[in-house]
Chain A
C-alpha cells in the first residue's frame, strides 16, 4: 500500500454566499446568509419557499470550450467550479491536459431541474413535446465528463458519484485513494447540484423545510433550506505540490464510508459513529486530536439529534466545537460536503472557525458548542467533515494543516 500523501492545492466554489475561494472564505468568516425566496420554479401553493440560490452565476465567464446549452445547470456549476479550482491551484491548463487525472463529482439530483422542466412540457403538450436538448443533458455522468471536455483532460477517469447528500465527501475520498495508490497525481473532486422542484417538494412533504432560515442545533430548528452550487477541490500528491512550489490549503488525512442498511431516509446513529471512527483510523488520528467537526448539520430535528449523539459515541464528553455551514449555505445536496470541505480547508489555512448562524438557543439535547453566529479565530490542526445521505450513505473526510514534519500516513502504517 502506497503511503503517498495528498494535499488540497486549489478550490473552486459557486455558492449563494460567494463565488471563488476569496469571497467564499470571507462570507464564511462574516457568517453571511444566502437565504432568499426561491425563483427557480413556481412556488405557488407552498406555505413557505425560501432557499439558497446562486443569483450571480455567469457560466460564460468560466465555460469556454463546451457549448453551455449542452450542459444542464448542475454540469455548468461543476464545470465552472473545476476551472476555478485549476486556476486557483496555479496550474497551467495545457500542462495539466497531458496528465493522468481523476474527475469525480458528487451529486444528489444530477440534472433533475431539467427533468422537472420536461415534466412541465409533457403536461402541457404530451411526452412528444419534451425538448430533446434537455433530454440529451440528463445522464448524470456528464457532470464529470463536462469538466474533462472543458479542460481538455483526455487522460481523465471521469465518473459521477450519485450517493445523494454525502456525495461530495465520497468524491474527495475517491480522489484520495487514487492518489495514494499512485494512479494519478491530480484529482478534481467535489460536488454540484441545482435547486429543483422535486427535491424541495420531498423535503417539504417530509416537513423538513424551515419556514424562514436554517438553524442547526437550535432548540427551535425546523429543518433545511435547499441550496445549490458547486465545490470542486484540486487534490494533488504532496510530491507534485512540493515540486512545483504550490500553495497548500490543507492535507487530506483520511476518509471512510459506511452504509446504514437500516432505513431509506432516517439517519442511523451506530452507523454514523462507525463511519467517524473508521475515518479517524484511516487518518491516523485520535478523537482528542480533532479541533473542529464540520457537521452534516442539516437543521432537521432528527439529523442534529442523531448526529450529535453519534459524535458523543465517538468522542465521549470532550467534544470539539461542532459547526454547520448549512446555516449559511443551505443544504446544497451533493455539493454540500464538498463545499464544507473547502470551508474546512480555508478555515485551516486562514485560522478561523466558521460560525453556525441563525442561532438563538442551543438544543440541550444536542449539547455542543456550535460557535453561534460569530466566527472565532483558531489555529486548526485537524478537522473532521461529516456527510450523511438518504440511502444510508455516510462518508467522513478528515483534513489537517499540512505539516512537513509529521507524516500521519506513515505513522498509521507503522
Chain B
C-alpha cells in the first residue's frame, strides 16, 4: 500500500432525497426526481419548481440551542457533519481538518444584512447576531464549533468545479501532513437570494437544488481498523478552458488523467458529467461508452446544486457502486465544468463491496 494513497472511507449527505447516506443512495438508485412546486408561503422566488431538502430548518434539525441566528447553509453543514461523525463513531480534534466548498456563502444572509442597513431608520440598526452568517466561511466555522474540529478549516470556492477543487486541496493537506483526517464537503442552500441571483445569472429556466455532501478522506495507511476504504482517489486534474472549447479541454484533461494513473478507458465503470452540461456528457459518452455514461444517474434529480453538484455526483457514484458488483476494482470518472473556465476531473478506484464497511 502506497504511503500516498488517498481514500474515501465514509460519507454522508443531506439533500432533497432526505437525510443521511441511505436516503441519498435510495434516491439515486430509484432515480427519483425531487422537483416539486415551490411553496409560495415559504419562498419568494422566480422559480415555479425547485428541489429542496424536506422539512429542513436548523432549529428543528439541530434543536433550539445555538441555532437562533444560524443560517440555512450553516445548518446543512453542521447537520451533515454530525451525521457523518455519528456513522463512524468518531470524535474530531486538532488533527481533523474540515474543507467546505461554497459559491459565495449565504447570499441570503449577506443581502438581508445590507437590506436592513439600507431600510432601517439608522444604517447600523442591524442584528449583531446575524453578522457571523454574513461571512463566506460561516458554515465551516459553525461546523467546527459544533463538532470540535480544531485542525485546518478551509472554505473554498471554484464555481461548479468546487467539489473537485476541494478534493484536490484536501489531498494536498493530507500529503503535506497538515491533518490526519479531513472531512471534505460542499454545502449550498436554497434561498430567495440565490434563486434570484441564478435567475439573473442564467436568464432563468433552471430548477434549483440544495444540500450538503461530505466525504471522509484519509491516507490508506491510516484508516482505522473498524473502517474500510470505499474508493481510492487515484487522480485529480484541473485546467482552465480559455477558448470556450469545453469539450476539447475536458477530453485532453481526462485523457491525461488516465495516462497518469496508467489505465485504459475499458477499466472505467462509470463516467459522470456535471448534471447540466450537455457537451461534457457527450465527451464522456464518446470516451467511455453508453454503459459507463448511464450506470450512475445524472443528479438533475436533485436540481442544480451549483458548487455542490460535483460532490453530490461523487456521492452518487459511491451509492451505485455499493450495490453494483461490476464496479469492484474498476474506476469512476467524475467531471465538472464551471462557466468561468474551471474544468476538473477526478478518477476514483472503487474497492470491492466486501471491503466496504456498513454495506447494506
Q: List A residues at the B interface (Cβ < 8 Å).
A: 1, 43-46, 107-112, 115-116, 118-120, 122-123, 127-128, 130-132, 134-136, 138-142, 144-146, 148-149, 152-164, 170, 174, 177-178, 180-181, 183, 197-199, 201-202, 204-206, 256-265, 271, 274, 389-393
Per-position 1/0 for B311-350, Cβ under 8 A of A: 0000000000000000000000000001011100000000
Flag if A257 contacts B154 (CB, 8 Å): yes
What chain B residues lie within 8 Å of A163 (beta carbons)? 137, 140, 153-155
Give residues of chain B (91-149) contacting chain A, Cβ–Cβ below 8 Å: 94, 98, 102-105, 107, 110-111, 113-115, 117-119, 122-124, 126, 128, 131-132, 134-138, 140-142, 144-145, 147-149
Instruction: Flag whether B23 is at the interface (Cβ < 8 A).
Output: no
Flag if B165 contacts A157 (CB, 8 Å): yes
Task: Select A162's contact among B111, B123, B155, B239, beta carbons within 8 Å.
Answer: B155
Beyond A132-B203, A260-B144, whether A148 also contacts B104 by CB under 8 A is: no
What chain B residues lie within 8 Å of A116 (beta carbons)? 114
17 A-B residue contacts at CB 8 Å? A107-B136, A110-B104, A110-B157, A115-B110, A130-B200, A138-B103, A141-B159, A145-B341, A146-B340, A161-B154, A162-B102, A201-B123, A201-B126, A258-B150, A260-B144, A261-B148, A390-B141
What chain A residues lie within 8 Å of B115 (beta carbons)? 119, 122-123
Flag if A180 contacts B131 (CB, 8 Å): no
> Closest approach, in angstroms, between the C-beta of A93 and any C-beta of chain B?
13
> Closest approach, in angstroms, between the C-beta of B115 and any C-beta of chain A?
5
Instruction: Flag whether B240 is at the interface (Cβ < 8 A).
Output: yes
Give residues of chain B (160-202) contacting chain A, Cβ–Cβ below 8 Å: 161-162, 165, 168-169, 172-173, 175-178, 192, 196-198, 200-201
Q: How far is the CA of A406 from the CA of B114 in the complex (A)?
A: 52
Flag if B158 contacts A148 (CB, 8 Å): no
> Closest approach, in angstroms, between the C-beta of B105 and any C-beta of chain A?
7
Q: How far is the CA of A127 from the CA of B124 in the complex (A)?
A: 23
Flag if B240 contacts A156 (CB, 8 Å): yes
What chain A residues lie within 8 Å of B122 (beta carbons)? 45
What is the predominant secondary structure among interface residues of chain A facing chain B?
mixed
Beyond A108-B136, A110-B104, whether A258 also contacts B151 by CB under 8 A is: yes
Q: How far is the CA of A135 from the CA of B203 in the complex (A)?
A: 10
Q: How far is the CA of A109 from the CA of B249 in the complex (A)?
A: 31
Flag if B114 contacts A201 (CB, 8 Å): yes
Q: How far is the CA of A150 from the CA of B150 in the complex (A)?
A: 37
Q: How far is the CA of A258 from the CA of B176 in the complex (A)?
A: 15
B92, closest chain A residue (CB): A261
A395, closest chain B residue (CB): B152
Beyond A45-B122, A163-B137, A391-B137, whether A265 also contacts B132 by CB under 8 A is: yes
Flag if A159 contacts B151 (CB, 8 Å): no
What chain B residues lie within 8 Å of A164 (beta carbons)? 135-137
Task: Select A262's contact among B118, B136, B145, B338, beta carbons within 8 Å.
Answer: B145
Q: How far is the CA of A180 from the CA of B119 in the complex (A)?
A: 51
Give residues of chain B (66-94) contacting chain A, Cβ–Cβ below 8 Å: 94
Flag if B157 contacts A162 (CB, 8 Å): yes
Beyond A140-B136, A390-B132, A391-B135, whether A127 also contacts B46 by CB under 8 A is: yes
Q: How far is the CA of A77 from the CA of B268 in the complex (A)?
A: 43
B252, closest chain A residue (CB): A154
Q: How far is the CA of A260 from the CA of B148 in the complex (A)?
A: 9
Instruction: Flag whether B233 is at the interface (Cβ < 8 A).
Output: no
Instruction: Flag whether B242 is at the interface (Cβ < 8 A).
Output: yes
Q: How far is the CA of A109 from the CA of B239 in the complex (A)?
A: 25
What chain B residues lie within 8 Å of A206 (beta carbons)? 128, 131
Beyond A135-B200, A259-B151, whether A391 also contacts B341 by CB under 8 A is: no
Known: A119-B114, A264-B138. 11 other contacts (CB 8 A): A111-B104, A119-B111, A127-B44, A141-B157, A148-B242, A161-B154, A161-B155, A163-B153, A178-B172, A257-B154, A393-B153
Q: How far is the CA of A127 from the CA of B196 in the complex (A)?
A: 7
> Closest approach, in angstroms, between the C-beta of A355 and any C-beta of chain B?
30
Instruction: Flag whether B156 is at the interface (Cβ < 8 A).
Output: yes
Flag if B145 contacts A181 (CB, 8 Å): no
What chain A residues lie within 8 Å of B176 (beta carbons)? 1, 177, 180-181
Instruction: Flag whether B238 is at the interface (Cβ < 8 A).
Output: yes
Flag if A177 contacts B135 (CB, 8 Å): no
Task: Select B103's contact among A107, A140, A199, beta carbons within 8 Å.
Answer: A140
What 7 pairs between A and B have smallest CB-CB spacing? A391-B141, A259-B153, A264-B132, A135-B200, A140-B157, A162-B136, A141-B158
Flag if B158 contacts A391 (CB, 8 Å): no
What chain B residues lie within 8 Å of A265 (beta carbons)? 131-132
Q: How far is the CA of A153 from the CA of B117 in the complex (A)?
A: 40
> Closest approach, in angstroms, between the C-beta of B292 and any C-beta of chain A?
26
Beyond A391-B140, A391-B141, whether A261 also contacts B150 by CB under 8 A is: yes
Q: How far is the CA of A260 from the CA of B146 in the complex (A)?
A: 11
What chain B residues lie within 8 Å of A123 (beta carbons)? 115, 118-119
What chain A residues lie within 8 Å of B338 (beta carbons)? 139, 141, 145
Flag if A157 contacts B104 (CB, 8 Å): no
What chain B residues lie within 8 Å of A393 (beta carbons)? 137, 140-141, 153-155
Beyond A127-B196, A259-B152, whether A154 also contacts B240 by CB under 8 A is: yes
Q: How far is the CA of A184 from the CA of B142 in the complex (A)?
A: 33
Q: How far is the CA of A43 from the CA of B294 in the complex (A)?
A: 56
Flag if A198 contacts B117 (CB, 8 Å): yes
B115, closest chain A residue (CB): A119
Flag if A390 contacts B137 (CB, 8 Å): yes
Task: Select B172's contact among A152, A181, A197, A205, beta carbons within 8 Å.
Answer: A181
What chain A residues lie within 8 Å of B110 (beta carbons)? 112, 115, 198
Flag if A46 contacts B124 (CB, 8 Å): yes
What chain A residues lie within 8 Å of B192 (beta carbons)? 127
Q: How far is the CA of A107 from the CA of B157 in the complex (A)?
A: 10
Flag if B137 contacts A162 (CB, 8 Å): yes
What chain B residues lie within 8 Å of A127 (beta carbons)? 44, 46, 192, 196
What chain A residues lie within 8 Å of B157 (beta carbons)? 110, 139-141, 159-162
> Closest approach, in angstroms, between the C-beta of B332 and any C-beta of chain A?
21
Beyond A44-B123, A145-B340, A181-B175, whether A159 also contacts B169 by CB under 8 A is: yes
